[in-house]
Amino acid sequence: MRQRGLTVARNNQNGTTSSIYNANNMPAWAGIEGAFVRASGISLYSNNKLGIIDYQAIPTGTHTIGYIYGGIYSNAVGWSPSTNPTLASDTVYRVNIIKN
């Protein structure tokens, strides 16, 4: 089974959010418990302790905002040691943002 990637788009003018399923498939089920590593040079909101990215400071275009590393890799939803063992993932996924 393959899982499709998901892009979430938010229109700040009218407050709507839309989901766009990417044409490229992700291999199996991957990513839960992965770590997000923010790319260098990405602006954060000032005076926040959570490391929230400042979307308004990102220029128009496509930008890499970080990477997701590791997580759990599985061939299906749910866990069963005999039919669906899980493994630690060593894959690195690039996280891009497209700002129009």
Gyration radius of the chain over CA positions: 16
Residue type, 8: V
How many CB atoms are located within 10 Å of the residue 97 CB?
15
How many CB atoms are located within 10 Å of the residue 29 CB?
20
- Above pLDDT 90, what percent of the chain? 21
pLDDT, residue 4, reads 46
Confidence of residue 2 (pLDDT cuts 50, 70, 90): very low
Mean pLDDT for the stretch of residues 13-35: 64
Residue 94's alpha-carbon distances to 14, 37, 39, 63, 75, in angstroms, are 29, 10, 10, 10, 21
Q: What is the pTM of this model?
A: 0.61
Confidence of residue 22 (pLDDT cuts 50, 70, 90): low
Reply yes or no on whether the pLDDT at 84 is more than 90. no
Reply yes or no on whether the pLDDT at 79 is more than 50. yes
Mean pLDDT for the stretch of residues 3-22: 61
